[in-house]
Each structure stands twice: as structure tokens, then as C-alpha cells.
Structure 1
Amino acid sequence: MIDDKKKRMIEESMKLFSEKGFHSTSIQEIADKSNVSKGAFYLHFQSKDELLIEIYSYYSEVILEKIGSINSRTHDPLKQFTEQIEAFLGLFKEHKEYLMMHVRDNINLGEKMNELIFSLHKQSYNWLENQIIMIYGERIQPYIVDVVIQIDGILSGYFKWIAIHDLKFDSEQLAKYIIDKVDVIVKSILQENQQPIFTYQSLSMFKEPSAQEIIQQIKKQIERSDNRELLEAILVLEEEWNKKEPKKIIIQSMLKHLESNTTIKELIRKLKKFL
């Protein structure tokens, strides 16, 4: 779990970034706004760049946890998807500063940030794909990439306009409206029965990673959450996995313990395929 002081620095810095911009905000301003010393800032973050990466990571985990709780409440896929979109809108309504960060500065922090953005993008794709197939069945599969791109465009457009123009809205009403438009798009695609524009083969992110690459991804996610129990579990799993004759029962036990965390559940599912 993230400690209160670190959480406060994340939230206060996000407000400053949304008001002044990332590059115009100093570490001293972040420390002052968070009521901590500059030294305390460096105890939690090596730099302002690392702080920004932590912000993206922190809020992606908040969103994934929210979606996970909705999955457990209802088995109706359409209702589930509508509630998830509503939750998304509600979170961004509460944390407008997070939206403003996306539209205010074009920030490039190199390979580490690119890896995180790519990972979040892939998680977003997997979530949308799963929900659409659950609702419309396998017949939408050939067009799934085109559908996901269009849904992403609708959501991104609303988020951008809400942030820039400070638009007021009802999360439930807007979620239902968006789902209605998605339904029209999907049914139109199925009815027209045209060739898809983009497919899985078009996307570089679907190059299957090795088991070791997946384990490293899991470790990175756990290290960000600072959960010692999960970190111990993944280290035990990694050690056992690398043995010449690994014990399957140990690996399965560690996987079961790890998959209780919603943020790494999809990675655990992929790792299980190697057993």
C-alpha cells in the first residue's frame, strides 16, 4: 500500500502539473504544497520524472481496482460494461487534474515512461476486447481492433473536451449514452460485413512475451505497489521457475497467491499458459 505522505505528494503535484504544467513546476513547489521538506520528496522519488511515472502507475491501479469490483457485482456483460464506463467517468470527474495533465503537456520521459504507457494501453485494449466479445459474442472477433479503436476515440474525445472546457455532466447519463453509440457502431459493422481495416496482425503489442518477460512485468507492477507479500511470492516463483526441475505445486501455489491482486491478474493468466 502507498503511504499517506507519498499519496499526498502525488495528489498535490498532479494539481500543480494541471495548473502550471509539468516543466514549469519545481520540486520545491511540490514539497511546499504537500507540507513536506525537499529532502522528504527525495526519500520517495528520485526525480520529478519518476514522480510523474508514479502518478500514471498509481491512477491506473485505482482504475483497475474499480473495474475489478464491478466485475464481481454483476454477471450481465452489458450492464457491467455500462457501470465500468460510468466508473471511469466518475473517477475522472473526481480527479480532473489527472485529465488536465494529459492535455496540457506533451511529455516524453524516455523508455521507462514509454514502457508504462504501452503497458497501460495494452491493458485498456484487453479490457475493451473482453467486454465487447462478452456482449456481442465471437462474431465480432474479426472486427475487434476496429471496434476498440472507435471506442477509445469516443472516450478520449469526451475526456479531452471535459478537461479543456470544464464541462459538467452526469456520469450515469453519459455512460449510457456512450454505450448506446457503441451498440450502434458494433451492429452497423456486423450488418455491413465488410473487411476489417485493422486486425491483430496489425498490432505490434500482440507479439507474445516469454515466461521470463511476463515474470519481469509482474515484478515491476508489484514493486510499484510496494506489497512485500506479493514481492516475496513472485521472487519464490521466479527462483522455482528457473530451476532445471521446477516443482509445479510451488509455482501453482505462488500463482494462486499472486492472482488475488487485480492489477496483475491478466499477466498471471498469461503465465499460466506456460505450465
Structure 2
Amino acid sequence: MKEKEKKIIEAGISLFAKKGYSSTSIQEIVDSCGMSKGAFYLYFKSKESLLLAAFKYQFQSIQFTLDSLLTKDLTPREMFIAQLEMQFNQIHKNKDFIIMLTREQTIPLNPEIEEFIRKINHEMGSSYQTSLLNMYGDKKIDHYFYDLNMILQGIVQAYIKLVIFDKVNIDFHKLSVFILKRIDDLVTGFTQSTEEPILTNDFVNKMSELYPEPTKEDIIRQIKIAKNKGEHEDIIVTLDVLIEEIEMDAPRIPVIQGMLGNLKDEPTLQYLKTMIETFFNRVKD
């Protein structure tokens, strides 16, 4: 991203948070940057396209911060707590912008913005699913993982609303540990339960059709995340080969299929394996 583009986005985020989207003009944005309108239109065709860029900039900033934790030597439980704590901190840091998005009724939710919001929700859900598998993959509750994820998302969203809209001081580390312990309680209950799950594989597959399809960049990022978590050298080598192959202008499908075969016995990598298979089936079609 070019420096001028970044400067316009940051000015837009600041003014949207202070004044609201509708009350902020392009002229005010460029004035705060010391630029001309012509410079603005070199990067953005409208204020609406700047809003989408602001969405992406905020999310990518949070994403980058969360990804930075993956280089640390943490257990799955420590990683989950750290990621959840950082998520709350980032949301609190940007809450004025989020409040503006929530309260202002005139914000244009065009298909591109709506699709990006669905993508954010899907990526967060996938991240939670990976964390749950890493922490509880040995508890023999495979058929309950989707329900566990949905309950976790509901708990987190309820506390996020509290962080954003209520003027309360919350210790985010303490809150993250508290949430994890409540998930422990749920897992204990699931290990003793004979009930049928609400969210089956078929239901989740149908729901996934509503989410934007991953891009090549999304897939490479997920492979790199998995590589940072990898403990076995053969899996790390497999992931390296996948990155190298997918980044090619013309990836060789047989090579990718061969590498994916090496992941079939890795429970925490099944979501990634399915994502890659789906992407290349779509490209092939």
C-alpha cells in the first residue's frame, strides 16, 4: 500500500469515527491529509470505496496483530487466551469507528461491503474452530465442535457489545481466561452427552455457501499460519511445497493433490485441506 493511500484511509477512519460517515465530506478528508481531491480520486473512486478500504484496513490490522502471536512458543490454551485478549484490545482501540458503523443508518451496505463483512465473520469462525480443535481434539467430541464454536462466538460477541457500548473497565486477560473456562465446562458436558448435535456437517456445508470463496492470498496466509504452528518436519515441508506451488502462475494440480494426501491424518489441518481442494476444484471448473 502506498503511503498516500494509507494516509487517506487513516484520515477517513479518524473523521468517520468523530463526525460520522454521512457528515464527513471528501474535501474534509483531503484537507486533513494536506492533499487535493485529485489525489483522493487517484486511489478511491468514491467515499463509499474509501469506506470499504477502511473496513479492510481495520480488519487486516487486527489480523496482522493476531498472526504475530503465532511466532510465540505458546500452548494451544495460552494461544487462545492471548488471541482472545488481543481481539478485545483491538476492538476497544477501534470502538469509535465500530460505533459509527453500527449507529449510522445511512452507510451504504453495497454487495462488496456486505461480502467483506461475511468474509470477516467466516474467518473469525474458522479461527475459533482451529483453536477448539487444537485444545480439545483428543476429547472425542468431534460431532459437537460446530455447536461448541457457535456457542463460543455467541459468548464473545456478547462481551464485544459490552466493550463497545458500555463504559465499563474490563480486564481483558481475566475475561479471556474466564471464557476459556466456560468452554471447558461445555466440553465436559459434551463428553457426557448423548444428544444429537444441532449443527451437522451437512448444515455447515450449506451455510458455507453463503460466505465468499477464499482467494489465493487467503489460502497462502492460512498455510503460513499452519506452518508456524507445525511441530513435525514432514508437515512443515509439505506446507512449504504447497505455498511454492500455489504461488506459481500455473500450479500443478497433481503436485497439490499429492501434498494434500500428506495432511489426511492431521485433524487440525482438515479445514485447510478442504479449503485448498475446494479452491482448485473451482479453478479447474
In the superposition, the TM-score normalised over structure 2's length comes to 0.70
Query: Aligned runs of 1:22-33 on 2, under 5 Å?
Result: 22-33=21-32
Query: Aligned runs of 1:170-181 on 2, under 5 Å?
Result: 170-181=171-182
Alignment partners' CA distance in 1, 2:17 and 2:178: 28
| Conserved? CA contact 1:14–1:97, under 8 Å | no
Alignment partners' CA distance in 1, 2:253 and 2:153: 42
| Partner in structure 2 of residue 156 of structure 1 | 157
Which stretches in structure 2 are left out of the alignment for 5+ residues?
221-243, 258-270
Amino acid at match of 1:110: N
| Partner in structure 2 of residue 261 of structure 1 | none
| Partner in structure 2 of residue 21 of structure 1 | 20
| Conserved? CA contact 1:219–1:234, under 8 Å | no
Which stretches in structure 1 are left out of the alignment for 5+ residues?
223-232, 253-265
How much has 1:218 moved relative to structure 2?
A: 2.5
Query: Aligned runs of 1:125-140 on 2, under 5 Å?
Result: 125-137=125-137, 139-140=140-141
Q: Deviations over 1:24-71 (max 9, x none)?
A: 322222222333322222222111111121122222222222222212
| Partner in structure 2 of residue 218 of structure 1 | 216
In the superposition, the TM-score normalised over structure 1's length comes to 0.72
| Partner in structure 1 of residue 238 of structure 2 | none
How much has 1:87 moved relative to structure 2?
A: 1.1
Question: What is the root-mean-square deviation of aligned Cα atoms in Å?
Answer: 3.4
How much has 1:177 moved relative to structure 2?
A: 2.1
Q: Deviations over 1:65-94 (max 9, x none)?
A: 222221221341111100000111121232
| Partner in structure 2 of residue 40 of structure 1 | 39
Number of equivalences: 240
What fraction of aligned residue pairs are identical, expressed as a percent?
Answer: 28
* 1:140 to 1:74, Cα distance in 2 relative to 1, 3 A: farther
| Partner in structure 2 of residue 92 of structure 1 | 91
| Conserved? CA contact 1:96–1:163, under 8 Å | yes
Query: Aligned runs of 1:99-118 on 2, under 5 Å?
Result: 99-106=98-105, 107-118=107-118
| Partner in structure 1 of residue 199 of structure 2 | 198
| Partner in structure 2 of residue 55 of structure 1 | 54
Moved over 4 A (4+): 219-222, 233-236, 246-249, 266-269, 272-275
* 1:4 to 1:197, Cα distance in 2 relative to 1, 3 A: same
